[in-house]
Amino acid sequence: MAIMNPYLETLLPKLSEADFKKLSAIDNPNVHEFIAKESDLCQPKDIFICSDSAEDIAHVRKQAMVSCEEQAILTLRGHTVHFDGENDQGRDRQATKYLVPKGITLSKALNQMDRQEGLAEVRGLLRDSMQGKTMIVRFISLGPPDSIFTILGVQCTDSWYVAHSEDLLYRPGYEQFLKAGIKSDFLRVLHAAGKLNGDMVSLEYDKKRIYIDHMDNTIYSVNTQYAGNSVGFKKLAFRLAIRKASSEGWLAEHMLLMGVFGPEKRKTYFAGAFPSACGKTSTALLPGETILGDDIAYIRNIDSVARAVNVESGIFGIIQDVNPKDDALIYKVLTNPGEIVFSNVLVKDGKSYWLGMGQELPKDGFNYTGTWFEGKKDSDGNDIPAAHKNARYAVALKALENVDPELDNPMGVELGGIMYGGRDAKAYVPVQQSFSWEHGIIAYGAALETETTFATIGKEGIPEINMMSIQDFISIPLGKNIHNNLYFGRKLKKQPIIFGVNYFLKEVGNGKYVNTPQDKHVWIKWMELRVHNEVDALATPTGYIPKYEDLRKLFKQVLSKTYTKEDYIKQFTIRVPENLSKIERVQRFYQENVTDTPLELFGILYLQRQRLLEAKEKYGDYISPENFEKETSQS
C-alpha cells in the first residue's frame, strides 16, 4: 500500500472506500497526481477506479446502459449500440492539434498550435465539464503485458461507453500498474464528452478539441464521443507512441498484423499499412488465415530480426460492406450472440442493420440522426442514409475463431513481409514487390497516395499523400520518420520483404475497379510465396510483379476462379504517364512541406522515373506485363 500522499488525500472525498483501496494500492504518486489534477479541473461528483476485476468490468458494462450511452440490441445477447452526434462521425483532423512549445515547429503538413495557448484553451473547455457525473479511471497495457513492447496508459473519462469500449479493444493494465511501482512511465488521457443532449450525444461540437501535449505525455479530448477521438488509446496515444519509438529506435505503425499460410501449413507473418477505410481490416480478416491485429503495431529489432505486436486486443472496425460474401468471418461474429458494441448503425425491432450488409434494409428505424425514415433529409437537403458509412463495431479479438495463438507473445512475431496500400485509382499495379528495403520504404511507403474517406470528417475522394498511412498521426518531423524507417531496416540481419498493394486501381477511362475485393487473398498468397522465394517475378520499372501462370494457379486454389490473361494484362499493365505524374506529385509534396526529407527519397524516385522513361522509349505509354523479363537478382 502506498503511503498517503497529498494527491490521494485530495481524492479521498470523491472515492468510495473500495475505490480508494484500489487506487492507493498503486505505488506511483504520478498516477495519483494525474487523477487528482484532472479531477480538480473537471469536478466530477465521484470517481470510479476500474481494477479490471470481473466485478468492475461488469459495472462499467452495466453503467454504459444505465447512463443510456448504449442501448441493448434485444435480439442478440451481448449486443449494444451507441450513437455519436451528426457532426461527430469520424476522426476530426481540424480539431486535432499538436501543442508545440514556442520556437518549435513540426512539418508544415501537421496541424499544430502554441502549447501554452492550447493548454489554456482545452483545459478551459474541460473545466467543470464532469459536474454531476462520474469520472472513470482505466488502466491499460498497450502491447502484451510484461514485454519489452509494453507501454502503460491511464485514461480518465466521463463516458461509460468509452470505458466499456476499452474492455473490448485493449489489454487490462491495472495489475501491471500494481507491479510497475514508483518509477513507471505511462501515457495520460483525459476525455470529457461535454454537454449532452437528450439522446446522450455531445452537443457542443463546435467546441470539440483534441490536443496532444507530448511534453507531458498527455492527451486532451473534449466535446466528442466518436471512439477515434475519445478512446485515447487508439489514435491519440498512438501519436505519443510514435514519438517514443522515434527516440528509442523502434517503429510504431498504423498496421495490421496477420499470419498467412503457405504450402505445408507454413505460416508467415505480415504487417500492412493502409490508410483508414482502405481495406486494412478486411485483409487482416481473410478467411483461412490468422489475425493478430487490424490497426496499430509496434515493431522492434530483437536480435536483428523485425518482430511485431498488436498494441490492441480488439477491433474497432468499419461495418459498411461487411457481408457474408466479402467478409464472412466477421459477418458471422456480428450476427451471433457475443459482446459487441455497434456504433451509428440503424436499429429496428431490436436488430442492427448497416449499409452493404447483403440484405435489404428497413425503411425506417433509429439511427445517428434519431428517428429515421427513408427520404429523411439533412439540413443541406441531402438524403440521410439508413446507417452512417463510418458506422462501426467494437469486438474483442478473442471472439474470433481465427485469432492467432501468438497474439500475446511478449516477444511478438517475426515479420516476413510488410505491405503498403492506398486508394490509388490510376497508377500502381494491384501487387508488386520492392527492389530493396529502401525502395519499398520510399516508393510504396513514403509515396503512398490515397483519397480521403468517410473515416475522417470532411470531403471524401480528395487525393492526398498519406505517408506510410500515418500522416494523420505522425508527431515527429516527416523526414525523420522516413529516416527512422530506412535506418530500422538497415540494422536488420533479415529484412522483411516490402510489397506495394493497391485494391483500388480503376480501368483507364472509366470508373470500374479492375479487381474484386476477394482478389486481395490471391495477392497475399503470392506475397507469402515470394517471401520464401518460391515463385519468380517480372521486373518492371516500379517493382517486381507476379507472372500470369502463378496467379492463374493461385486464383484457382484460393478462390476457385479462372483467371484470364486479359484480366492479368488489364491489372498489371504499367501505366507510364500516371506513374510519372505520381512521382511528380510526391516530389512536390516533400519539397514543399518537408524540409528534412532524406535525400534518398529524391534519389530513389529519380531512378524510378528513369526506369519508366526508358521503358516508355521502348514500349510506349501503357506497357503490357508480357514485355517484362524475369528478375535477375533480388537486392
Select from ligand SPV, Mn ion, none the partner in contact with residue 227, using the beta carbon and a kind-dependent cut-off of 5 to 8 Å: ligand SPV
Q: How many residues bind Mn ion (CB under 5 A)?
A: 2
Q: How many CB atoms lie within 10 A of CB 450?
A: 24
Q: Are strands 79-82 and 340-343 parallel, antiparallel or unpaired?
A: parallel
Q: Is 213 a binder of Mn ion (CB under 5 A)? A: no
Shortest separation between residue 277's beta carbon and ligand SPV, angstroms: 7
Candidate segments 21-29, 69-77, 293-301, 460-468, binder of Mn ion by CB under 5 A? 293-301
506 secondary structure, DSSP code: B
Residues 6+ positions from 236 with CB-CB distance below 8 Å: 189, 210, 212, 219, 221, 229
| Residue whose CB is less far from Mn ion, 270 or 628 | 270
Q: How many CB atoms lie within 10 A of CB 572?
A: 25
Q: What CA–CA distance (Å, rounded) separates 291 from 406? A: 10
Shortest separation between residue 214's beta carbon and ligand SPV, angstroms: 18
Select from ligand SPV, Mn ion, none the partner in contact with residue 316, using the beta carbon and a kind-dependent cut-off of 5 to 8 Å: ligand SPV
| Residue whose CB is less far from ligand SPV, 322 or 605 | 322
Active site residue 278: yes
**Of the residues 42, 50, 156, 278, which is catalytic?**
278
Shortest separation between residue 319's beta carbon and Mn ion, angstroms: 14
Candidate segments 79-87, 189-197, 289-297, 481-489, binder of Mn ion by CB under 5 A? 289-297
The b-or-e profile of 88-110 (16+ CB within 10 A means b, else e) is bbbbbeebbbbbbeeeeebbebb
Q: Are 223 and 261 in contact (CB under 8 A)?
A: no
Shortest separation between residue 43's beta carbon and Mn ion, angstroms: 33
Q: Are 295 and 316 in contact (CB under 8 A)?
A: yes
Candidate segments 86-94, 288-296, 380-388, 420-428, binder of Mn ion by CB under 5 A? 288-296
- By CB under 6 A, name the binding residues for ligand SPV: 91, 227-228, 234-235, 276, 295, 316, 455
Q: Find the Cα–Cα–Cα–Cα dihedral 8, 13, 16, 20, rounded to 10°.
A: 10
Select from Mn ion, ligand SPV, none the partner in contact with residue 234, using the beta carbon and a kind-dependent cut-off of 5 to 8 Å: ligand SPV
* Binding positions for Mn ion, 367-396, rule CB under 5 A: none
Select from ligand SPV, Mn ion, none the partner in contact with residue 440, using the beta carbon and a kind-dependent cut-off of 5 to 8 Å: none
Select from ligand SPV, Mn ion, none the partner in contact with residue 499, using the beta carbon and a kind-dependent cut-off of 5 to 8 Å: none
Strands (E), 492-554: 497-502, 537-540, 543-546
Select from Mn ion, ligand SPV, none the partner in contact with residue 208, using the beta carbon and a kind-dependent cut-off of 5 to 8 Å: none
- Return the residue of 295, 327, 404, 472 that touches Mn ion, per CB under 5 A: 295
Residue 176: closest CA among 147, 217, 146, 218: 146
Residues 6+ positions from 468 with CB-CB distance below 8 Å: 253, 254, 273, 420, 445, 446, 448, 481, 485
247 class by beta-carbon count within 10 Å (0-12 exposed, 13-18 middle, 19+ buried): exposed
* Binding positions for Mn ion, 247-286, rule CB under 5 A: 276
Binding site for Mn ion (CB under 5 A): 276, 295
Active site residues: 278
